[in-house]
Structure 1
Amino acid sequence: MSIRAVDIFCGAGGLTYGLQEAGIDVQAGFDIEPECRHPYVENNADVEFIESDIAADVSVEDIEPYLSAGEADHTLIAGCAPCQPYSKMSNGNKNSADNHEKWGLMEEFSDLIAGVEPDLVTMENVPQVRKHEPYENFQSRLKELGYMIWDGVVDCPKYGVPQQRKRLVLLASKHGHIELQDPTHDPDEVTVKSELERYDLAKLEEGETSDDDFLHTARGLSEKNIKRIRNSEPGGTWEDWPEDLRLNCHTKDSGRKYTASYGRMKWKDPAPTITTRFFNYGSGRFGHPEEDRAITVREGAILQTFPKDYSFVSSEDDLSVQSMGKLIGNAVPVRLAKAIGETLVQHVENEGPQKRLQTATQD
């Protein structure tokens, strides 16, 4: 049973890479960001990258040729609409669809699904999306189109992702009941240590770059931040520091609850959620467990379960740490994507090619 797919909001290709590892034939990825082209095409076999604005430029006619070319038993539209409007980090009025320009992209995504009506749909997003009307509308529309839907909040370490990360996964099928496969890993064994020590990464000082991999670069730290990280215990807080190293906000009630900033990871725990600012020591618990620096772009990518040799830029001259942080932090973790892909492959093998026709006849 073959599945041919397109990836909407494809980013750097984490979802596509995992789906391909599961045996799904992803033909193309669509994204508005030009920085996505190199990692998407360079690391994923036989795919095309289409730089387009999903809200304005992508139509059903743009997608259908990729799903109809050649022979395939089933078709899939996969995607992860931008999650910023739904994130806990968003401070706007979450009940107003006019408050954020990206609120509407979930509607645009459902428009494309309605026009193509693939056999299968999958979407990944932040868990908070469940609380908002655009997601309710998205689900309702899929049901009207005849899809059976499963959605759930996934604890990522149970699927091999070494992060304290929870993500919403939606699966929809025209072939009957579907649900995500059982966990693939023991979460107690999925840690920063288990992942980073799989690779022979060079030890670095702050501000230093590996001779073997320019993405393995530690950002420089101020003299005060060097003192802070040297006074930080793995898993500890700023309360471990001497008084003279603490920030002004730490003396205020509003700042006391932010204990993870300027923190170190623990070897024997999963990492915190890899955000788009993971390379910045002060943005969260992104200090290396034992080296006096923040984690590097390469380490962040590895914790997102990208392969160690995943290429994000063609040369060191093209490297922007901020841009790479955005691509990596926004990516679907590869192992979670693979679990989604394996679920879809097993689903169509179990249900068989005639199920959709039988359902349509009954309707």
Structure 2
Amino acid sequence: MTSAIDLFAGLGGWSTGARDAGVEVLWAANHWPEAVMWHGANHPRTQHVCQDLHQAEWQKVPGHDLLLASPCCQGHSKARGKSSGNPQHDASRSTAWAVVSALEFHKPEGGLLENVVEFLQWALYPAWLAAVQALGYQVSPHIVDCADLGVPQNRVRLFLVLTRSKSPLILNLRQSVHVPASTFLDLNAGKWSTIDKPGRAAATLERVKAGRATYGDQFIFSYYGNTKSGRSLSRPIGTITTRDRWAIVNGDKMRMLTADENLLAMSFPADTKRPDNHRLTVHMAGNAVPPLAGQRVIEAYLAAA
């Protein structure tokens, strides 16, 4: 059986996808104790470490065939705004160098990295790429809408495929039929409120009005961002983020997505163990790799490697 480690494991999107692809995740690490606890709850057979991976003791990490990683994307994502004067952006960008350290020590056959597409515009990406190549790896970037892999969500992400091969490996990622948001939304769940209640923000009412004009009495819409016209329940939802973003309209009532709906939109299994805290669950979900996307990428890698 192919073995793997999971860096910046979070709630376990890569690990869950790997398990479903028949890969054994031996070791997983994250700097956040809460994430490590819940990853452990869902992957009890995996060895866990709570650690800043800049200080990782790689000699204590088990040997493996495949490195999985999702370095912090917040320093690269446009959603964070301008980075000037914010040291958190620099710190989060630098997490990608831990991948180089792990590759240098263990020299696995391959690696799969997930990040936002803006990672390719990082000022130090050419240096990072050169370091990975100096270790004997070819790097092949794949820009993928996770909806094309069967995730019920339009989520465009970068997957970097690292292989010890003569030429870069191009994955055959077969496009799946798009899965609609209606498959995970439960109109009988959650806390509904009247749309036209006193104090409702004018911008929200405008979004609802625009959505009704196009989709009628049932649709979803983004509470913030550039999407102001709503979305049909018959198509994938838009990108799930680390805070409440998507609201559902049903007749004269509306509500935000539940924590469970956020997880299902990310393609986590329905029995995934999670915090009772709504905001914490949403944050972990929005930071994760969609497990189904991870599974499809890993399966394509194994088929081609």
TM above 0.5, one fold?
yes
* Shift in Å, 1:222: 7.3
Corresponding residue of 1:329: 286
TM-score, normalised on structure 2? 0.84
- Is 1:157 the counterpart of 2:114? The answer is no
Corresponding residue of 1:288: 248
The 1:30–1:144 alpha-carbon spacing in structure 2 relative to 1, beyond 3 Å, is same
Given that residues 95 and 132 in structure 1 are in contact (C-alpha distance below 8 angstroms), is that contact kept between their aligned partners in structure 2?
no
Corresponding residue of 1:203: 188
* Shift in Å, 1:202: 6.2
Query: What is the 5 A alignment of 1:252-291?
Result: 258-260=225-227, 264-278=230-244, 283=245, 286-290=246-250
Corresponding residue of 2:125: 135
* Shift in Å, 1:342: 0.4
Cα RMSD of the aligned pairs, angstroms, is 3.1
2:284 partner letter: L
Given that residues 39 and 310 in structure 1 are in contact (C-alpha distance below 8 angstroms), is that contact kept between their aligned partners in structure 2?
no
1:139 partner letter: L
The structure with more radius of gyration: 1
Corresponding residue of 1:355: none
Q: Secondary structure in 2 aligned to 1:287?
A: strand
Given that residues 205 and 293 in structure 1 are in contact (C-alpha distance below 8 angstroms), is that contact kept between their aligned partners in structure 2?
yes
- Is 1:181 the counterpart of 2:172? The answer is yes
Q: Secondary structure in 2 aligned to 1:115?
A: helix
The 1:207–1:100 alpha-carbon spacing in structure 2 relative to 1, beyond 3 Å, is farther
Corresponding residue of 2:179: 190
The 1:178–1:205 alpha-carbon spacing in structure 2 relative to 1, beyond 3 Å, is closer
Corresponding residue of 1:125: 115
* Shift in Å, 1:137: 2.1
Q: 1:225 aligns with which of 200, 203, 213?
A: 200
The 1:344–1:231 alpha-carbon spacing in structure 2 relative to 1, beyond 3 Å, is closer
Q: Secondary structure in 1 aligned to 2:104?
A: helix
- Is 1:312 the counterpart of 2:274? The answer is yes
Query: What is the 5 A alignment of 1:52-201?
Result: 52-56=51-55, 58-63=56-61, 66-67=62-63, 75-93=65-83, 100-176=90-166, 177-186=168-177, 189-193=178-182, 195-196=183-184, 201=186
| Cα displacement string for residues 279-318 of structure 1 (whole angstroms, at most 9, x for unaligned residues) | xxxx4xx1114251011110010000001111113xxxxx
Q: Secondary structure in 1 aligned to 2:54?
A: coil
1:11 partner letter: G
Q: Give the distance between the partners of 1:224 and 1:287, measured in 2 at CA.
A: 17
The 1:119–1:85 alpha-carbon spacing in structure 2 relative to 1, beyond 3 Å, is same
Q: Secondary structure in 2 aligned to 1:168?
A: strand
TM-score, normalised on structure 1? 0.72
Q: Give the distance between the partners of 2:304 and 2:84, measured in 1 at CA.
A: 35
* Shift in Å, 1:271: 0.9
Structure 1 runs, 4 residues or longer, greater than 6 Å off = 94-98
Q: Secondary structure in 2 aligned to 1:101?
A: helix
- Is 1:30 the counterpart of 2:29? The answer is yes
1:103 partner letter: R
Q: Secondary structure in 1 aligned to 2:81?
A: coil
Given that residues 173 and 297 in structure 2 are in contact (C-alpha distance below 8 angstroms), is that contact kept between their aligned partners in structure 1?
no
Q: Give the distance between the partners of 2:7 and 2:210, measured in 1 at CA.
A: 38
The 1:196–1:229 alpha-carbon spacing in structure 2 relative to 1, beyond 3 Å, is farther
1:31 partner letter: N
The 1:100–1:16 alpha-carbon spacing in structure 2 relative to 1, beyond 3 Å, is same
Q: Give the distance between the partners of 1:132 and 1:180, measured in 2 at CA.
A: 24
Q: Which runs of 5+ in 2 are unaligned?
A: 217-223
* Shift in Å, 1:24: 1.0
Q: Which runs of 5+ in 1 are unaligned?
A: 68-73, 209-220, 241-256, 314-318, 349-363
The 1:303–1:149 alpha-carbon spacing in structure 2 relative to 1, beyond 3 Å, is same
* Shift in Å, 1:108: 2.4
Q: Give the distance between the partners of 1:99 and 1:312, measured in 2 at CA.
A: 27
The 1:235–1:100 alpha-carbon spacing in structure 2 relative to 1, beyond 3 Å, is farther
* Shift in Å, 1:235: 4.2
Q: Give the distance between the partners of 1:140 and 1:117, measured in 2 at CA.
A: 16
The 1:327–1:232 alpha-carbon spacing in structure 2 relative to 1, beyond 3 Å, is same
